[in-house]
Chains A and B, each alone.
Chain A
Amino acid sequence: MSDEKKSTSRTTGTINVKRGLAEMLKGGVIMDVVTPEQAKIAEDAGAVAVMALERVPADIRVDGGVARMSDPEMIEGIKATVTIPVMAKARIGHFVEAQILEALGVDYVDESEVLTPADEKHHIDKWAFTVPFVCGATNLGEALRRISEGACMIRSKGEAGTGNVIQAVRHLRTILGDIKRIGQADSAEIFDWAKRLQAPVSLVQEIAETGTLPVPMFCAGGLATPADAALVMQLGAEAVFVGSGIFKSENPEPRAKAIVEATTNFNNPDILAKVSRGLGVPMTGIGMDELDMKLEDRGW
């Protein structure tokens, strides 16, 4: 017995390991890509991860119909091309799509409102998985419900595929504003906050004690320029997702790189001025009053 080689035991899928990867992505840019070529451009530009999907949100809007999980072949093609983490989207409540993505070895699953929801009441029980999940939220209650279901990263939703940052700002301010207000609440008020937010008291208490969300808080939905990325970082986002904003612009390579540099140097207007120059035409974008489908309303 004694000369048997001691093997160290490993525990996978713990909360530290799942939230830990989100910690590593902080200060970075996660880019939507639809082909291995785009994934390569994203990695070359300094993306910290790519989101592999069949159509970017701007195209999902135009095409209509049902948007589903991407073809595994396409996800594998992207996994084989880059060395950075690869994320992929499952429909809200579609736990089998999530099982498939876990079997494919994606690094993060996004249970996303950008795809057509599969369940009108239930989100995926994310505790049942080894792979970590990110979920969108428009307000603190939604964020805490997702965390109580096992999400290890929250992204403010914004309005995907619009190139319009207004909703991202609204959601970020709503979530971070309520976190600040809870920090000033007394112990009796915490219960009322939990009731109003429709969220577990224990999570609201945790926010009251720590002053932050228990998981990293990133921002997504409608970011199109380096200035947009720096704006949400200054407002308190810890990293950014850029979807249609890069590959729907005139000149994706320099724009991708500029957004990466802007996210790191979000507090330095001189660098922001430098990287914002000569990037070509950004995606055209859509005003909120021109929208006939609001993706942010999906999720319960």
Chain B
Amino acid sequence: MGVLALQGAFESHIRVLNTLEIESVEVRNSESLDSVDGLIIPGGESTAISMLLESNQLREPLQKRLSNGMPVFGTCAGMIILSEKILDGREDQTPLGAIDIMVRRNAFGRQIDSFESQLEIEGLNSPFPAIFIRAPIVQSAGESVKILATIEDQIVLCCNETTLVASFHPELSDDVRIHEMFVSMAK
């Protein structure tokens, strides 16, 4: 399993993968991208990660892998980067379009509005401790998208056949169930 390691909380994802006894690879260039079967795009600053995708010449190969159906999991900034359209982003920020959703950046406000919440998630039999940090939300989703969790009617976890995206940070909780969900998707 690859973890995009350009910027952000990639080490936290690697720690979760280690707990699940899944081998992980830090992806910083196209060679390391070639070597993985699935990819996690971590939280971080989506503007910085988007720019580094360009400067590290990863955007095109990544786009190609995604259109060939590589399983991918995006958290927070990762969700923004995998979306179809970004609201309140920078004009030059082009998402990868792996899942048919329109996301709004920093939808809950600034850092003082960041929060934790016990989240009901479809397919899990008890709430998940979700940590939202300057989090985005899914403003609208196409028909191909399956909604897995909402908070006050706003979508915060959803997927399609190969893509799983979360507004929050499962990698910061001591709960591996959403990563397990992705791993079984990727099989």
Contacts and interface: CB of A to CB of B under 8 A. Distances in A.
A25 interface: yes
Contacts, number: 131
A18 B128 CA distance: 19
Interface stretch (A2-10, A283-291, A292-300): A2-10
Chain A interface mostly: loop
Contact of A264 (B6, B114, B134, B173): B6
Interface in A263-292: 263-265, 268
A49 B169 CA distance: 19
A46 B8 contact: no
Contacts of A130: 112
A86 B49 CA distance: 17
Interface stretch (B66-74, B116-124, B179-187): B116-124
B172 A48 contact: no
B5 A27 contact: yes
B172 A28 contact: no
Contacts of A183: none
Nearest to A84: B45
Which bucket holds chain B's interface residue count?
Answer: 35 or more
A234 interface: no
A47 interface: yes
Nearest to B150: A8
A274 to B, nearest CB: 10
Contact of B7 (A13, A27, A105): A27
B59 interface: no
Contact of B9 (A8, A17, A23, A107): A23
Contacts of A132: 111
A28 B45 contact: yes
A83 interface: yes
B40 interface: no
A263 B8 CA distance: 12
A260 B6 CA distance: 10
A20 B52 contact: no
B112 A20 contact: no
A8 B117 contact: yes
A260 to B, nearest CB: 7
B140 to A, nearest CB: 20
A20 B133 contact: yes
21 contacts: A8-B119, A9-B117, A9-B118, A16-B172, A20-B133, A23-B9, A23-B169, A26-B10, A26-B44, A27-B6, A28-B8, A28-B48, A47-B48, A48-B7, A83-B88, A83-B105, A102-B112, A105-B112, A106-B111, A131-B112, A261-B56
Given A14-B116, A20-B169, A264-B6, 20 more contacts: A8-B119, A8-B151, A10-B116, A12-B113, A16-B172, A16-B173, A17-B114, A20-B114, A20-B172, A24-B76, A26-B9, A27-B5, A28-B8, A47-B48, A48-B7, A48-B45, A84-B47, A106-B111, A107-B134, A130-B112
Instruction: List the 7 closest A-B pairs by CB distance, nearest first.
Output: A107-B111, A10-B115, A46-B51, A27-B7, A48-B45, A23-B9, A46-B48
Interface of A: 7-14, 16-17, 20-21, 23-28, 43, 45-49, 83-85, 102, 105-108, 130-132, 257, 260-261, 263-265, 268
